[in-house]
Amino acid sequence: MGDISANSFELVLFVIAMILILSDKTDKKAYHNKVRLAMVLFLFGLIFGKTNNLSIILLSSAICAAYLIAMLPIEAIKNRAEAALR
């Protein structure tokens, strides 16, 4: 059982999370998604920094990856690809 002290990996994820939170807030929906993504990265960092249990690491990595895939701006990527092909 560990104490709540940050290692470098957690700190890097925390900085990324803060950048996401403090970035552009003009699009409300995109901003809410960024806040949620920031929280996911932060919690993932907290889990990753505290355990050596492989099943916990794999489970949290899979959940994190699923969230990142769900958050992919597929419509925007499709529009950009179509524009590039035109």
Partner 1 sequence: MSGFLELVSASRIYRTIPTILAILVPAAFADKIAPELGVLILSCILIYAVASIHNAKKDNDYSLPEYYREVMIGLAAIALAIASSSRTVFFTAIAWIALGLFYNTIARRMLFGDNTVLAITHFGLPVFSSSIITGIDARTTAILTAFTFAAFWFESCFSILKV
Binding positions for partner 1, rule: CB under 8 A: 1-2, 4, 21, 25, 28, 31-32, 35-36, 38-40, 42-44, 46-48, 50-53, 55-56, 59-60, 63-64, 66-67, 70
Rounded least distance, CB 47 to partner 1, Å: 4
DSSP secondary-structure letter at 25? -
**Nearer CB in complex with partner 1: 66/74:** 66
In angstroms, the CA 86 to CA 71 distance is: 26
In angstroms, the CA 15 to CA 29 distance is: 22
